[in-house]
Amino acid sequence: MMRKNKGRQKIKMAKMKNESNLQVTFSKRKSGLFKKASELCTLCGTEIVVIVFSPGRKVFSFGHPNVDVVIDRFLNINPRHPHQNINLQLNEARQNYVVQDLNDHLAQVTEQLEVEKKRNEDLKQKRKDDKRSKNWWEDPVEGFNLRQLTEFKSGLKILKKKVTTEASKYLQATGHNFYFGSSSNAGFGTFDDDEGNNNSDLDLFNHRRLVGMKTFSCNHQNMIIPHPSTTPYGNAVIERFAPEHNQNKNQYCLKQERCECDHQPDPPPHFRHHYY
């Protein structure tokens, strides 16, 4: 079983010999120290300052409420807890709320990150374990000979066409705004085949999308609005499928005018992955 790192090992409490290891250690431990400092302030409400100089003589500092105030007090510029005027107190209270919010947000993100990490591990492990159904094309592409490559390619192209057909069938059936645009790729329907021709029937998506924008004002009909508890990807998915969830609040519904549309979304799609 391959390990990612050597694991916990006892280290000698003396200046490290290896320069690059030292740098890495510095970086990690500084980060850990700041984290501990932040936690202490949050949990116990103490004031703290940590100043660290790097091997390259750059300085890093963390302070609560801020570095300067605590340093000044240390240097006896400001005595301990002077007569704090009401503004200072209010300011402090407000800051505490902000910080608490941030802490909550961070906790949320950290939890999400853990979920994704676990999922990543599970997926990779599943791939490893799935030996019994190991087809030759599931191996890395680099190991294929020319014949295998071409075989695979042809098979994939057919699959691609079928997937495309499925997607377009769906568009035609419901005729709603199926937004394909996203930051990650240029557009499903516009890649070309080997000869460099733009496959025109694949442009179906973009065409549909453009047409849909003008023609269908009512986006609620047949709109699949995923139930929050079934979307593993949080807001990202909602934005993709129900963009007016966030925008286009002034879209009016044609059907509503004619008392046909009752704005009921279809039942949410069943997501295959059961991570929720």
Instruction: Give the C-alpha separation, 110 to 106, whole Å.
Output: 6
- What's at 52, amino acid-wise? V
253: left (phi over 0), alpha (psi -120 to 50) or beta: beta
Q: What are phi and psi of 37, to 5 degrees?
A: -65, -45
For other proteins, give the closer residue by CB, 159 or 213. Answer: 159
* Residue 23 buriedness (CB in 10 A; 0-12 / 13-18 / 19+): middle
Give the nearest distance from C-beta 140 to other proteins in angstroms: 4
> Alpha-carbon torsion 53, 54, 59, 65, what sign?
negative
Give the separation between CA 218 and CA 212, rounded to whole angstroms.
10
- Provide, rounded to whole angstroms, the least separation between the CB of residue 253 and other proteins: 23
CB-nearer residue toward other proteins: 32 or 263: 32
Residue 240, Cβ density class (10 Å: 0-12 exposed, 13-18 middle, ≥19 buried): middle
For other proteins, the closer of residues 164 and 256 by Cβ is 164
Nearer to other proteins, 138 or 262 (CB): 138
Shortest reach from residue 58's CB to other proteins, in Å: 7
At closest approach, how far in Å is the CB of 18 from other proteins? 11
Q: Which residue(s) pair with 245 in the sheet?
A: none
In the bound state with other proteins, the residue whose beta carbon lies nearer, of 5 and 145, is 145
Closest CB 200 distance from other proteins, rounded Å:
17
